[in-house]
Amino acid sequence: MTDTTTHDLIILGGGAAGLTAAIYATRAGIDALTIEQGAFGGQITTTDEVDNYPGIEGVSGAELGTKFQDHAENLGAKFAYDAISSVSFDEKESRFSLVGDEGTYQSKTLVYAAGATPRKAGFEGEDLFRGRGVSYCATCDGMFYTGKHVFIIGGGNSACEEAVFLSRFASDVTMIVRKDHLRAMSSGIRQVKQNEKITVRYLTSITRLEGETLPTSITFRDNVSGEEHVETFDPGSFGIFVSVGHVPQSGLVRDLVELSPDGSIVTDDSMATKTPGLFCAGDVRTKPLRQVITAAADGAIAATSSALFLGELII
Ligand SMILES: Cc1cc2nc3c(=O)[nH]c(=O)nc-3n(C[C@H](O)[C@H](O)[C@H](O)COP(=O)(O)OP(=O)(O)OC[C@H]3O[C@@H](n4cnc5c(N)ncnc54)[C@H](O)[C@@H]3O)c2cc1C
C-alpha cells in the first residue's frame, strides 16, 4: 500500500510521547498520522501499576496507554499500524519518506518518538520475574519495595542515584558491581559511601533468579574465582533493580540527527534536531528522566514545534 498523501506531520511511535504529539497536532489542526508497530501506548503498557502520573492514581500501564490512545482518537487523530524500516529526507523537496512492511508514507515534518528499551542484565530468570521482583525503573517501582531488601545491578551514575533513591524505601540496598570500582561521578560515589543502608559488592554478578510465583533465591558469582553461591529469601521480601543503561531506538534517523555517546538523540528545547522539520520526543532523546510525564511533555513540545515550522500555529 502506498499512502499518496503528503501529511503535514508523521509521528513515528505510538507511546506516551507519540500519542501526546498526536493530541497536540490534531488540536492544532494539522494533518498528522501516527504510526505504531505494536501496541499503542508503548512500553508503559508492560507494567502493572503506574502510580506517579498526576491526576490518575493507581492505574495499570495498559489502561493508561488505552486512555492516551482513546483521547487522541476522540479528537480525530489518525493511526496506522506498521513497522517502519527506513526513514529518509529529501532536502530539495523538504519531504520525509518512511518505508514500512505495509507501505510507504510521506510528510513535511516528522516527530520521531520510537522510545528506548532498558538494557537487560542477562541473568537466568530475568524475563520470567520481570514485574514480579525484577524492575528496570527505581522511580516507578521503588515504593513497592518499602521495608524490603533491594539489590541493584550496575555501578554507573544511574545505579548510584537509584541506590540512594531506593534507600529511602528499602530496609537495605546492595549494589552488585561487576568490576572492582564504581564508574560514576565522585558526588554520586560519595553519596553511596556515606549512606549506611547501602552496601557495595564488587567483582560480583547475579547469574540466576529462582522461585515459584515470586523469586526466592539469587545465585551470585564471584567474578575473580568464578565460584557461585546461593542466597535464599522469603517470597516477596526482596527486589532486583537492573540499572545497566538504556538502548535508545535511534537507528532509523541516525544520519539525520546528532547522537550522544549512548545513542540517544540530541535536541534543543523545542525538540528540534539538525534536520529541518525533524523533531524528537520521549525516551529516544537525551534526557535526565525517562518517564511517562517527561515523554508526554516532549511530545507536546515536538508537535507544537512542528505546527510552528509548518506555519500553522502562531504563539
Ligand atoms: C517496566 C516499566 C515500568 C515503567 N513504569 C513507569 C511508571 O510507573 N511511571 C512512569 O512515568 N514511567 C514508567 N516507565 C517508563 C515509561 O514507560 C517511559 O518513559 C515512557 O513510556 C516513554 O514513552 P515514549 O513514548 O518515549 O516511548 P515508548 O513508550 O517506548 O514508545 C515508543 C513506541 O514506538 C514504537 N516504535 C519503535 N520503533 C518503531 C518502528 N520502527 N516502527 C513503528 N513503531 C515503532 C514502539 O513500538 C513503541 O510503542 C516504565 C518503563 C518500564 C519498561
The C-alpha atoms of residue 195 and residue 43 are separated, in whole angstroms, by 33
Strand order in the sheet with 215-222: 204-211, 215-222, 228-232
Question: From ligand 1's centre to the CA of 200, what distance in Å?
Answer: 30
What's the pLDDT score for residue 289?
Answer: 87
What's the pLDDT score for residue 142?
Answer: 92
What's the pLDDT score for residue 245?
Answer: 87
Tell me which residue of 240, 162, 243, 234 sits closest to 198, measured CA to CA.
Answer: 162
What's the pLDDT score for residue 312?
Answer: 65
What's the pLDDT score for residue 117?
Answer: 87
| Average pLDDT, consecutive stretches of 10 residues, N- to C-terminus, the chain (315 residues) | 85 98 96 95 84 90 95 97 97 95 96 94 96 90 95 93 94 97 90 97 98 97 97 97 94 97 96 98 94 97 96 64
Q: How many CB atoms lie within 10 A of CB 160?
A: 28
User: Which three-class secondary structure state does DSSP give residue 29?
Assistant: coil
Residue 8 known to be catalytic: no
List Cβ neighbours of 287 (8 Å cut-off, separation of 6 or more).
Answer: 264, 294, 298
For ligand 1, residues with CB inside 6 Å are: 12-18, 35-38, 42-44, 46-47, 50, 52-53, 83-84, 113-115, 118, 136-137, 140, 249, 252, 282-283, 290-293, 295
User: Which three-class secondary structure state does DSSP give residue 156?
Assistant: strand
The C-alpha atoms of residue 148 and residue 27 are separated, in whole angstroms, by 46
CATH 3.50.50.60 region(s) of the chain?
2-118+246-310, 134-242
User: Domain spanning 134-242 has what CATH number?
Assistant: 3.50.50.60
Residue 268 known to be catalytic: no
Give residue 185's identity as a one-letter amino acid code: M
CATH number (3.30.70.20, 3.50.50.60, 3.40.50.720, 3.30.420.40) of 2-118+246-310 reads 3.50.50.60
| Ligand 1 atom with the shortest distance to the CA of 50 | 8
What's the pLDDT score for residue 313?
Answer: 58
Residue 137 known to be catalytic: yes
| Catalytic one of 3, 8, 82, 141 | 141
Q: Please list the residues that pair with 176 across neighbouring strands.
A: 153, 201
Residue 170 burial by CB count (10 A; 0-12/13-18/19+): exposed, middle or buried?
buried
